[in-house]
A and B are shown apart, each in its own frame.
Chain A
Amino acid sequence: QKEVEQDPGPLSVPEGAIVSLNCTYSNSAFQYFMWYRQYSRKGPELLMYTYSSGNKEDGRFTAQVDKSSKYISLFIRDSQPSDSATYLCAMSAYTGGFKTIFGAGTRLFVKA
């Protein structure tokens, strides 16, 4: 079993839709939860991070962490064609040094 599971998609939605992207994990030591966005032919870039459980909002993006269920989500409101990208979840734990594990990434297409 992988430490981090993420559905690779692809996920296709119309412009303006609410998008929900999710990851599950198995290691309860993870403390920081991140979402990276990767455009085609580019390296991943950090979009948001959350420490421990709870929600964090940044504009049209909301990140949620439920540590009891080992489940994290990224919501995108009023999705735009420019949101079309691959979204990777990532989680890190401090075990004598940070260890970061990435999910496989979900490919999102937002149609105009």
Chain B
Amino acid sequence: DADVTQTPRNRITKTGKRIMLECSQTKGHDRMYWYRQDPGLGLRLIYYSFDVKDINKGEISDGYSVSRQAQAKFSLSLESAIPNQTALYFCATSTGTNTDTQYFGPGTRLTVL
């Protein structure tokens, strides 16, 4: 089984709808991240959490919110989806030690019409 899982893998929705993307991990890492990936822009950090009680905004948090329900679960919500939130979304985890190597999930492809 994959260490970092994301659901759903693909989602098409309409402008104004509320969307939740979920991430679960079995790596036992305290740190979890949400990124979006757009062609030519690379990975951009949306939110990150260093433990269950610690949530921080990344560089592009506007229009997004998160919830860290447990060490293993970190969900990303789009309260009112808009077309420019169409992107590939990745969840990642890390130990926060040494190189802070990040382990990524398989991604969720979100399309907002």
Contacts and interface: CB of A to CB of B under 8 A. Distances in A.
Given A49-B99, A92-B100, A103 B42 contact: yes
A88 B4 CA distance: 19
Contact of B42 (A41, A43, A104): A104
A97 B30 CA distance: 13
A100 B42 CA distance: 13
Interface string A84-112: 00001010100001101011110000000
Interface string A1-36: 000001010000000000000000000000010100
Contact of A34 (B4, B40, B43, B101): B101
Q: Which of A45, A49, A100, A103 has the most chain B CB atoms inside 10 A of its CB?
A: A100
A34 B107 contact: no
Q: Which of A32, A43, A45 has the most chain B CB atoms inside 10 A of its CB?
A: A43
Nearest to B109: A41
Interface residues of B, number: 22
Contacts of B98: 32
Contact of A43 (B39, B99, B100, B107): B107
Q: Which of B96, B99, B104, B106 has the most chain A CB atoms inside 10 A of its CB?
A: B99
B50 interface: yes
Interface residues of A, number: 22
B99 to A, nearest CB: 4
Contacts of B4: 43
B71 interface: no
A97 B99 contact: no
A112 B42 CA distance: 27
Given A100-B100, A102-B42, 18 more contacts: A6-B42, A8-B40, A32-B98, A32-B99, A34-B99, A41-B106, A43-B104, A43-B107, A45-B104, A46-B103, A49-B99, A88-B42, A92-B99, A97-B50, A98-B100, A100-B102, A102-B43, A105-B43
Interface of B: 4, 35, 39-43, 50, 90, 92, 94, 96, 98-107
